[in-house]
Amino acid sequence: MSEEKPIGLTIAEKFFGLIVLLIGAVTVYITYTNPPGSIVAPFSSIFIAAGLALIAIGIFLVLAKTE
């Protein structure tokens, strides 16, 4: 007996992946083009790294195969 995912769950996973990908891309773009002031400049790399991690998670969710 194999249990299959409902089609709605698969669509929700792909949609959530696209949203996470979009949030990560916007975070990286805004942080890279408009870095914060000189006081908190070291923290901009943390936001860029977090945005890249969100992009990677989003790509993984979109490209993941359902069995």
Q: What is the dihedral of CA 24, 25, 26, 28, to 10 degrees?
A: 80
Express each pLDDT in 3-23 by its tens digit.
776 888 888 999 999 999 999
Does 3 fall in a domain?
A: no
Give pTM, 2 decimals: 0.80
- Residue 40 binned pLDDT confidence (cut-offs 50, 70, 90): low
Does 44 fall in a domain?
A: yes
Does 58 fall in a domain?
A: yes
pLDDT at 67 (0 to 100):
66
Does 15 fall in a domain?
A: no
Among 59, 60, 67, 54, smallest CA distance to 27 is for 54
Does 10 fall in a domain?
A: no
Contact criterion met (CB below 8 Å) for 64 and 10: no
For the chain, how many structural domains are there in total? 1
- Chain mean position to CA 27: 9
Does 41 fall in a domain?
A: yes
Does 16 fall in a domain?
A: no
Range of the domain at 66: 23-67
